[in-house]
Chains A and B, each alone.
Chain A
Amino acid sequence: MPGIDAGGGKTLFDKVFDAHVVVRREDGQCLLWIDRHFLHEGSFHAFNKLKDRDAEVTRPDLTFGIEDHYVPTRTRDLSKIDPAIRGMIEQLRGNSERHGLRLFDLDDPGQGIVHVVGPEQGLTLPGLTMVCGDSHTATHGAFGAIAFGIGASEVAHVLMTQTLWQKKPKRMRVTVDGTLAPGVTAKDIALSIIAKIGADGAAGHAIEYAGSAIRGLSMEGRLTLCNLSIEAGGRCGMVAPDQTTVDYLRGRPFAPQGEAFEAAAKDWLALASDPDAVFDREVLFDATEIAPVVTWGITPEDASPITATVPDPEQIADPARAAQVRDALDYMDIRPGQSLTDIRIDRVFIGSCTNSRIEDIRAAAAILAGRKAKVPGLVSPGSMLVKKQAEEEGLDRIIRDAGLEWVDAGCSMCVGMNGDLVPPGERCASTTNRNFRGRQGPGSRTHLMSPAMVAAAAVTGHLTDMRQLMREPVSAGN
């Protein structure tokens, strides 16, 4: 594509990275041009740095604010919420206004979680460099963009210069070939990868996902997969653009329109790793061997197929890993050898940048339809547009009839910043991305899984193989 060196032996990552290098230093540091910068309420540290320097936002046209981390999900009336939380939202509003930024605020029909809104609005495009002060920015790589999370100092740097100093990471290709069994989703692929390579298995690497199972995923599935790249320690995750990508983007409001779109699509479809491209590391998976996965511990690498039992630390040869597992089981209050399906839960959550898109809501509703949940739970769609569409399809009614709460869009119970918390000691089946100690609230216990698996757990009150509740074949890979 124009501006991207098509020389032989390059990976997709190399092509996009090289096209954004403004300055290349002898020590390997590159000053990288940034095409999109998303900000949420946590950006206040960065704006304070601008204030200290009396600096302006250099490219407000490429910078977008989104209210998601702290927003209430049961009301949109800020006068009714905790003043400290309201203050976080008001700070973002003030900073956005001061610097002339387009803000997706609570009154905007497109408001939602940044990593749901970007793709949905067509702000995310193939071949872009994208950053946000949020580690799950890797999500946007589903479109063939280089997208990664940055800290507040880097946010300030991008605001002031529209660039970032980066050293090119190593390249890793994860190939998943074959057809997924019915009910097995992108979430199960991702958790299987993390369980195999470890929560730091991709540290220092940019991941490219390839293979027939990946090509077969919808954009929603690819977003879920790339989202979890960070949970394997990856700097970012990417899928090469194809017709699925182009079809998703056509007509999105911030994407090019008309002839400009068709011209762009031609450039995007040319973006792929060369056949002779060399990766620093290659990992292969057989899609037919992947089953629905749940986590049982306190890092996403503590994941097993739902048909398995809780591991026994006494059987683990590596003493450091055995200690880690012992510690995890102690925190999670489960026993070695216990069947995963015997683990009872207190609550469910369906939402977050990992699994809150329309297909996720549909998958959960397919299991919940005509059934009652045995435990309470919250369903928070990823954006107000997802919410609207789900309501048009009648999914909200299915969810409410099952006894779960249907609320507005935000990061909600994934991180609990808005007050949507799992109470201390309670166990939650969750579609989110982190089962860290206390992530969903002090003393909370989290089991990660796909939306259909969470719905199944809600219906039975314990971790459950959703395939036993499937009424008819669910299309693979959603």
Chain B
Amino acid sequence: MKPFKTLDAIACPLPQSNVDTDQLIPARFMKRSRADGYGGFLLYDLRFDENGEPKTDCPLNDTIRQGAQILVSRRNFGSGSSREAAVYALVDYGVSCVIAPSYGDIFASNAVNNGLLPAVISEEDCEALLAGLQDGADTATVDLEALTIRCANLVVPFTVDPVWRTKLLNGWDDIDLTRSHSEAIAAFAAADRERRPWMQPNRPTTAKPEA
């Protein structure tokens, strides 16, 4: 995974709360292969009308927001389903950082696993950033080392879980790290079998319980 240190890019306001994962990528697109890219499906029903024409009231369709890599939104961004496809849609569209006061837990975790920074800011700073962008600011600078966001004449702090920060700064992948603990895992499994013999599923010959 590519390390994330600083990002100086076009920023787009999305002044809504509860932008859920069903909106980030509607379920009907999730049968597609990731190889084709999910960027075209990002916020599809918000960006396009029934005829597939871009909606003029969607900020992502504004000329000055084309190529946005930063999204600023209101509370509870990414709530809902665990579909990592919501993050794939953002990443494939080109977004590397979302800024909001709070996130769905599973979304935030999925984001970090794909190198996307879920930056947490206060409600007050969020409103100031949204206002700045809606007043015409078109870029923002996110510094993950310094934990600051600059946009027009604003400088606001943000937070991110320290473990996630380290992971993003280094572009680490969990699986390689976990494999370095394979002996500890095997030892745990062996001891656990003694401690909790009932954990192992029974293997029925027929499976017909009552509902």
Contact = CB atoms under 8 A, between A and B. Distances in A.
Contact of A415 (B27, B82, B201, B210): B27
A48 B162 contact: no
Contacts of A381: 211
Interface in B155-184: 161-163, 166, 174-175, 177-179, 181-182, 184
B26 interface: yes
B18 A161 contact: no
Contact of A153 (B27, B114, B185, B210): B114
A143 to B, nearest CB: 13
A200 B76 contact: yes
Nearest to A265: B198
Contacts of A308: none
Contact of B209 (A1, A120, A263): A120
B27 A417 contact: yes
B104 A438 contact: no
A309 interface: no
Interface string A404-417: 00000000000111
A135 B202 CA distance: 26
A267 B198 contact: yes
A357 B22 contact: no
Interface string A106-141: 001110000000001111010110000111010000
A337 interface: no
A428 to B, nearest CB: 15
Nearest to A384: B211
Contacts of B105: 169, 203-204, 233, 235
B64 to A, nearest CB: 23
B152 interface: no
Contact of B163 (A133, A167, A261, A390): A167
Contacts of B76: 198-200, 203, 233, 299
Nearest to A220: B211
B174 A299 contact: no
Given A42-B30, A87-B31, A299-B20, A2 B195 contact: yes
Given A42-B83, A48-B34, A135-B82, A125 B74 contact: no
B84 A151 contact: yes
Interface in B67-94: 74-76, 79-85, 87-88
Interface string B4-44: 00000000000011101011001110110010000000000
Contacts of A416: 27-28
Contact of B184 (A22, A424, A439): A22
A378 B5 CA distance: 51
Contacts of B203: 254
Contacts of B88: 45
A263 B196 CA distance: 10
A31 B181 contact: yes
A45 B34 contact: yes
Contacts of A169: 105
A434 B80 contact: yes
A29 B188 contact: no
B207 A121 contact: yes
A344 interface: no
A310 B101 CA distance: 27
Contacts of A45: 34, 84-85, 88
A385 B102 CA distance: 40
Contacts of B28: 416-417, 442
B31 A88 contact: yes
A135 B188 contact: no
B104 A3 contact: no
A343 interface: no
Contacts of A386: 211
Interface string A194-206: 0000111001100
A458 B88 CA distance: 39
Interface residues of B, number: 69
B40 to A, nearest CB: 16
A89 B102 CA distance: 35
Contacts, number: 225
B199 interface: yes
Contacts of B50: 424, 442-443
A169 B24 CA distance: 25
A74 interface: no
Contacts of A135: 80-82, 106
Contact of B185 (A128, A161, A357): A161
A161 B201 contact: no
B136 interface: no
Contact of A151 (B20, B82, B185, B188): B82
B136 to A, nearest CB: 21
A233 B178 contact: no
Contacts of B20: 299, 434, 436-437
Interface in B36-67: 45, 50
Given A203-B105, A417-B30, A33 B185 contact: yes
B184 A85 contact: no
A389 B178 contact: no
A153 B113 contact: yes
Contacts of B200: 61
A264 interface: yes
A149 B107 CA distance: 10
A394 interface: no
Contact of B198 (A31, A125, A387, A424): A125
B131 interface: no
A334 interface: no
A27 B164 CA distance: 11
Contact of A233 (B27, B31, B79, B179): B79
The 4 A-B pairs at the shortest CB distance, nearest first, are namely A3-B195, A151-B110, A264-B198, A253-B204
7 contacts: A31-B178, A33-B188, A122-B209, A123-B201, A135-B106, A157-B175, A320-B127
Given A125-B198, A135-B80, 11 more contacts: A3-B195, A134-B81, A149-B81, A149-B106, A151-B113, A169-B105, A254-B202, A260-B198, A415-B81, A424-B50, A436-B80
